[in-house]
Protein backbone atom coordinates (compact mmCIF):
# COMPACT_ATOMS: atom_id res chain seq x y z
CA UNK A 1 0.00 0.00 0.00
CA UNK A 2 1.40 3.42 -0.91
CA UNK A 3 -0.39 6.05 1.17
CA UNK A 4 0.24 9.77 1.27
CA UNK A 5 -2.68 11.10 3.35
CA UNK A 6 -2.15 12.29 6.89
CA UNK A 7 -4.86 11.37 9.41
CA UNK A 8 -5.38 11.02 13.16
CA UNK A 9 -3.25 7.83 13.24
CA UNK A 10 -0.21 9.38 11.56
CA UNK A 11 3.00 9.05 13.60
CA UNK A 12 5.26 12.10 13.38
CA UNK A 13 9.07 12.04 13.10
CA UNK A 14 11.55 14.83 12.43
CA UNK A 15 15.06 16.20 12.58
CA UNK A 16 16.24 18.75 15.16
CA UNK A 17 19.03 21.12 14.13
CA UNK A 18 20.22 24.70 13.73
CA UNK A 19 20.35 25.53 10.85
CA UNK A 20 18.06 22.91 9.31
CA UNK A 21 16.63 24.46 6.13
CA UNK A 22 18.85 22.45 3.76
CA UNK A 23 18.29 19.03 5.35
CA UNK A 24 17.53 16.24 2.88
CA UNK A 25 16.25 13.97 5.67
CA UNK A 26 12.54 14.96 5.32
CA UNK A 27 12.30 14.06 1.62
CA UNK A 28 14.27 10.85 2.19
CA UNK A 29 12.18 9.57 5.12
CA UNK A 30 8.81 10.64 3.73
CA UNK A 31 9.64 8.76 0.51
CA UNK A 32 10.63 5.69 2.56
CA UNK A 33 7.43 5.77 4.65
CA UNK A 34 5.33 6.05 1.50
CA UNK A 35 7.21 3.22 -0.21
CA UNK A 36 6.63 0.92 2.79
CA UNK A 37 2.99 1.95 3.31
CA UNK A 38 3.72 3.29 6.81
CA UNK A 39 1.33 5.94 8.14
CA UNK A 40 4.01 8.39 9.26
CA UNK A 41 5.37 11.81 8.35
CA UNK A 42 8.76 13.45 8.85
CA UNK A 43 9.56 17.15 9.07
CA UNK A 44 12.45 19.49 9.94
CA UNK A 45 12.40 21.37 13.26
CA UNK A 46 14.57 24.45 13.63
CA UNK A 47 15.63 24.18 17.28
CA UNK A 48 18.19 26.53 18.87
CA UNK A 49 20.45 25.49 21.76
CA UNK A 50 18.16 27.28 24.24
CA UNK A 51 15.11 25.44 22.93
CA UNK A 52 16.66 21.96 22.91
CA UNK A 53 15.44 20.80 26.33
CA UNK A 54 11.90 21.98 25.59
CA UNK A 55 12.00 20.27 22.19
CA UNK A 56 12.96 16.95 23.80
CA UNK A 57 10.07 17.28 26.28
CA UNK A 58 7.88 17.97 23.25
CA UNK A 59 8.83 14.59 21.73
CA UNK A 60 7.29 12.91 24.79
CA UNK A 61 4.35 15.30 25.19
CA UNK A 62 3.30 15.09 21.54
CA UNK A 63 4.08 11.40 21.16
CA UNK A 64 6.50 11.70 18.24
CA UNK A 65 7.81 8.30 17.11
CA UNK A 66 11.37 9.59 17.21
CA UNK A 67 13.76 12.16 15.79
CA UNK A 68 17.10 12.58 14.13
CA UNK A 69 19.50 15.04 15.70
CA UNK A 70 22.03 17.07 13.76
CA UNK A 71 24.54 19.90 14.22
CA UNK A 72 24.86 21.42 16.85
CA UNK A 73 22.81 19.18 19.18
CA UNK A 74 24.33 15.68 18.84
CA UNK A 75 26.21 15.90 22.15
CA UNK A 76 24.05 18.36 24.10
CA UNK A 77 20.90 16.26 23.73
CA UNK A 78 22.37 13.30 25.61
CA UNK A 79 21.58 14.35 29.22
CA UNK A 80 17.91 14.90 28.30
CA UNK A 81 17.37 11.31 27.14
CA UNK A 82 16.36 8.31 29.31
CA UNK A 83 18.77 5.76 27.84
CA UNK A 84 21.85 5.85 25.61
CA UNK A 85 22.77 2.89 23.41
CA UNK A 86 26.35 1.62 23.88
CA UNK A 87 27.56 2.73 20.43
CA UNK A 88 26.26 6.29 21.00
CA UNK A 89 27.82 6.37 24.46
CA UNK A 90 31.23 5.42 23.08
CA UNK A 91 30.88 7.77 20.11
CA UNK A 92 29.85 10.49 22.60
CA UNK A 93 27.05 11.67 20.31
CA UNK A 94 23.44 10.83 19.41
CA UNK A 95 21.94 11.27 15.94
CA UNK A 96 18.75 9.21 16.39
CA UNK A 97 16.17 9.09 19.19
CA UNK A 98 13.51 6.40 19.52
CA UNK A 99 10.40 7.14 21.62
CA UNK A 100 8.87 4.00 23.11
CA UNK A 101 5.86 4.96 25.23
CA UNK A 102 7.59 8.09 26.53
CA UNK A 103 10.98 6.45 27.10
CA UNK A 104 13.57 8.15 24.89
CA UNK A 105 16.63 6.14 23.79
CA UNK A 106 19.54 7.73 21.94
CA UNK A 107 21.48 5.90 19.20
CA UNK A 108 24.27 6.85 16.83
CA UNK A 109 23.71 5.50 13.32
CA UNK A 110 26.43 7.67 11.65
CA UNK A 111 29.24 5.18 12.20
CA UNK A 112 27.14 2.11 11.37
CA UNK A 113 25.76 3.86 8.28
CA UNK A 114 29.25 4.81 7.15
CA UNK A 115 30.66 1.30 7.47
CA UNK A 116 27.61 -0.27 5.76
CA UNK A 117 28.07 2.14 2.87
CA UNK A 118 31.86 1.61 2.64
CA UNK A 119 31.49 -2.17 2.56
CA UNK A 120 28.58 -2.26 0.12
CA UNK A 121 30.03 0.32 -2.27
CA UNK A 122 33.68 -0.82 -2.33
CA UNK A 123 33.48 -4.49 -1.27
CA UNK A 124 36.53 -3.89 0.95
CA UNK A 125 37.65 -6.49 3.49
CA UNK A 126 38.05 -4.43 6.64
CA UNK A 127 39.70 -7.20 8.64
CA UNK A 128 42.98 -6.65 6.75
CA UNK A 129 42.70 -2.88 6.24
CA UNK A 130 45.05 -0.28 7.71
CA UNK A 131 43.16 2.98 7.97
CA UNK A 132 44.17 6.63 8.14
CA UNK A 133 41.26 8.57 9.61
CA UNK A 134 41.63 12.33 9.17
CA UNK A 135 39.76 14.32 11.83
CA UNK A 136 38.80 13.68 15.44
CA UNK A 137 35.35 15.32 15.71
CA UNK A 138 31.92 13.79 16.29
CA UNK A 139 31.74 11.90 12.98
CA UNK A 140 35.28 10.52 13.44
CA UNK A 141 34.35 9.04 16.82
CA UNK A 142 31.41 7.04 15.48
CA UNK A 143 33.34 5.91 12.39
CA UNK A 144 36.42 4.88 14.41
CA UNK A 145 34.29 2.81 16.81
CA UNK A 146 32.46 0.97 14.03
CA UNK A 147 35.69 0.32 12.08
CA UNK A 148 37.18 -1.20 15.24
CA UNK A 149 34.03 -3.34 15.71
CA UNK A 150 34.37 -4.56 12.12
CA UNK A 151 37.85 -5.87 12.96
CA UNK A 152 40.14 -3.24 11.37
CA UNK A 153 43.52 -4.17 12.87
CA UNK A 154 45.13 -0.70 12.83
CA UNK A 155 43.72 2.84 12.71
CA UNK A 156 45.81 6.02 12.56
CA UNK A 157 43.88 9.13 13.56
CA UNK A 158 45.38 12.44 12.36
CA UNK A 159 43.89 15.78 13.27
CA UNK A 160 44.70 19.50 12.93
CA UNK A 161 44.57 19.67 16.74
CA UNK A 162 46.80 16.67 17.42
CA UNK A 163 45.79 16.53 21.11
CA UNK A 164 42.25 15.56 20.08
CA UNK A 165 43.60 12.79 17.84
CA UNK A 166 45.70 11.39 20.68
CA UNK A 167 42.74 11.56 23.11
CA UNK A 168 40.44 9.80 20.66
CA UNK A 169 43.11 7.15 19.99
CA UNK A 170 43.28 6.47 23.72
CA UNK A 171 39.51 5.94 23.94
CA UNK A 172 39.38 3.71 20.84
CA UNK A 173 42.53 1.84 21.84
CA UNK A 174 40.30 -0.45 23.92
CA UNK A 175 38.86 -1.93 20.73
CA UNK A 176 41.85 -2.21 18.34
CA UNK A 177 45.31 -0.72 17.74
CA UNK A 178 44.76 3.04 17.36
CA UNK A 179 47.50 5.69 17.06
CA UNK A 180 46.90 9.44 17.29
CA UNK A 181 49.01 11.81 15.16
CA UNK A 182 49.43 15.42 14.11
CA UNK A 183 48.77 16.22 10.44
CA UNK A 184 52.52 16.83 9.98
CA UNK A 185 53.25 13.16 10.80
CA UNK A 186 51.07 11.65 8.04
CA UNK A 187 54.00 11.37 5.61
CA UNK A 188 55.72 8.87 7.94
CA UNK A 189 52.84 6.34 7.90
CA UNK A 190 51.31 6.72 4.41
CA UNK A 191 53.30 3.77 2.98
CA UNK A 192 51.46 1.29 5.25
CA UNK A 193 47.93 2.67 4.86
CA UNK A 194 45.30 1.01 2.61
CA UNK A 195 42.28 3.28 3.26
CA UNK A 196 42.21 7.06 3.77
CA UNK A 197 39.01 8.49 5.27
CA UNK A 198 38.32 12.22 5.52
CA UNK A 199 35.99 12.94 8.44
CA UNK A 200 36.74 16.68 8.55
CA UNK A 201 34.67 19.40 6.90
CA UNK A 202 37.67 20.42 4.74
CA UNK A 203 36.51 20.52 1.11
CA UNK A 204 32.81 20.90 1.91
CA UNK A 205 30.74 23.45 -0.02
CA UNK A 206 31.38 26.40 -0.30
CA UNK A 207 35.11 25.73 0.35
CA UNK A 208 35.36 23.19 -2.46
CA UNK A 209 38.97 24.13 -3.40
CA UNK A 210 40.35 22.82 -0.11
CA UNK A 211 41.61 19.30 0.56
CA UNK A 212 42.70 17.71 3.85
CA UNK A 213 45.92 16.02 2.62
CA UNK A 214 48.53 16.78 -0.05
CA UNK A 215 47.95 15.13 -3.43
CA UNK A 216 51.41 13.52 -3.37
CA UNK A 217 50.30 11.14 -0.60
CA UNK A 218 47.68 9.53 -2.86
CA UNK A 219 48.42 6.50 -5.05
CA UNK A 220 46.77 3.74 -7.04
CA UNK A 221 46.59 1.10 -4.30
CA UNK A 222 44.45 3.20 -1.95
CA UNK A 223 40.75 3.42 -1.22
CA UNK A 224 40.02 7.10 -0.56
CA UNK A 225 36.76 7.92 1.19
CA UNK A 226 35.21 11.28 2.08
CA UNK A 227 32.26 11.74 4.47
CA UNK A 228 31.35 14.97 2.69
CA UNK A 229 28.48 14.61 0.20
CA UNK A 230 28.13 18.25 -0.85
CA UNK A 231 29.85 18.39 -3.30
CA UNK A 232 29.44 14.73 -4.26
CA UNK A 233 32.98 14.65 -5.63
CA UNK A 234 35.34 16.63 -3.41
CA UNK A 235 38.79 17.83 -4.43
CA UNK A 236 40.23 14.94 -2.38
CA UNK A 237 38.19 12.38 -4.35
CA UNK A 238 39.00 14.07 -7.67
CA UNK A 239 42.74 13.91 -6.97
CA UNK A 240 42.44 10.31 -5.75
CA UNK A 241 40.57 9.30 -8.91
CA UNK A 242 43.19 11.02 -11.08
CA UNK A 243 45.97 8.84 -9.64
CA UNK A 244 43.96 5.63 -10.01
CA UNK A 245 42.83 5.15 -6.39
CA UNK A 246 39.35 3.76 -5.68
CA UNK A 247 37.00 6.41 -4.27
CA UNK A 248 33.96 6.45 -2.00
CA UNK A 249 31.83 9.56 -1.32
CA UNK A 250 29.65 10.56 1.65
CA UNK A 251 26.21 10.20 0.05
CA UNK A 252 26.02 6.51 0.89
CA UNK A 253 26.71 7.28 4.56
CA UNK A 254 23.88 9.79 4.60
CA UNK A 255 21.48 7.26 3.06
CA UNK A 256 22.55 4.40 5.34
CA UNK A 257 22.52 6.45 8.58
CA UNK A 258 18.93 7.32 7.61
CA UNK A 259 18.18 3.70 6.76
CA UNK A 260 19.44 2.54 10.17
CA UNK A 261 17.27 5.18 11.89
CA UNK A 262 14.24 4.10 9.82
CA UNK A 263 14.83 0.48 10.86
CA UNK A 264 15.11 1.42 14.56
CA UNK A 265 11.83 3.35 14.36
CA UNK A 266 9.77 0.96 12.27
CA UNK A 267 11.39 -2.47 12.70
CA UNK A 268 11.20 -2.84 8.90
CA UNK A 269 14.01 -2.99 6.33
CA UNK A 270 14.58 0.44 4.80
CA UNK A 271 13.91 0.85 1.04
CA UNK A 272 17.49 1.93 0.35
CA UNK A 273 17.23 2.37 -3.42
CA UNK A 274 14.23 4.73 -3.39
CA UNK A 275 15.85 6.70 -0.56
CA UNK A 276 19.03 7.08 -2.62
CA UNK A 277 17.09 8.03 -5.76
CA UNK A 278 15.11 10.82 -4.12
CA UNK A 279 18.16 12.32 -2.37
CA UNK A 280 20.15 12.26 -5.62
CA UNK A 281 17.26 13.92 -7.43
CA UNK A 282 17.05 16.64 -4.78
CA UNK A 283 20.82 17.28 -4.88
CA UNK A 284 20.66 17.60 -8.67
CA UNK A 285 17.66 19.96 -8.55
CA UNK A 286 18.81 22.21 -5.73
CA UNK A 287 22.62 21.77 -5.76
Q: In the complex, what is the shortest distance from the CB of residue 48 to ligand NAP, in angstroms, rounded to a whole number?
A: 18
Is 74 marked active-site? yes
Among 38, 67, 228, 272, binds ligand NAP (CB under 6 A): 228
Q: In the complex, what is the shortest distance from the CB of residue 276 to ligand NAP, in angstroms, rounded to a whole number?
A: 12
> Per CB under 6 A, which region of 15-23, 55-63, 132-140, 148-156 contacts ligand NAP?
132-140
Does residue 211 have a cis peptide bond before it, meaning omega lies within 30 degrees of 0?
no
Q: How far apart are CA 141 and CA 145, in angstroms?
A: 6
List the helix and strand counts (H, then E) for the chain. Answer: 10, 12
Closest chain position to ligand NAP (CB): 137
Q: In the complex, what is the shortest distance from the CB of residue 10 to ligand NAP, in angstroms, rounded to a whole number?
A: 27
Restricting to residues 134-173, which ones interact with ligand NAP according to CB under 6 A?
135-140, 159-161, 164
DSSP structure string for 243-266: TT-EEE-SHHHHHHHHHHHHHHHH
Instruction: Spell out the residues 6+ positions from residue 6 whose beta carbon is closer than 8 angstroms to its own.
Output: 41
State the catalytic residue, choosing from 2, 74, 163, 268: 74
Q: Is 68 or 99 the residue whose CB approaches ligand NAP more closely?
A: 68
Q: How far is CA 173 from the centre of its chain?
A: 21
User: Count residues contacting ligand NAP (CB under 6 A)?
Assistant: 23
- Are 231 and 208 in contact by the 8 Å Cβ rule? The answer is yes
Task: Assess 202 for contact with ligand NAP (CB under 6 A).
Answer: yes
Q: Is 247 or 257 the residue whose CB approaches ligand NAP more closely?
A: 257
Q: Where are the beta strands (DSSP E) in 160-280?
A: 177-182, 195-198, 223-226, 246-248
Catalytically annotated residues: 74
Q: Which residues bind ligand NAP (CB under 6 A)?
A: 110, 135-140, 159-161, 164, 199-202, 204, 227-229, 250, 253-254, 257
Amino acid sequence: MKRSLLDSQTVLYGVLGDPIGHSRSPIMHNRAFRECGINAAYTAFHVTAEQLHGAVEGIRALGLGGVNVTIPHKVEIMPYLDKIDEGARIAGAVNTVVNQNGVLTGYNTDGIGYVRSLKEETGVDLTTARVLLIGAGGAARGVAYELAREGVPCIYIANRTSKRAVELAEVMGKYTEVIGLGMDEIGDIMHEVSIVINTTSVGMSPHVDLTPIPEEYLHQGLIVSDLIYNPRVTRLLREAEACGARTHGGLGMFIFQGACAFELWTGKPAPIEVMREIVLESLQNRG
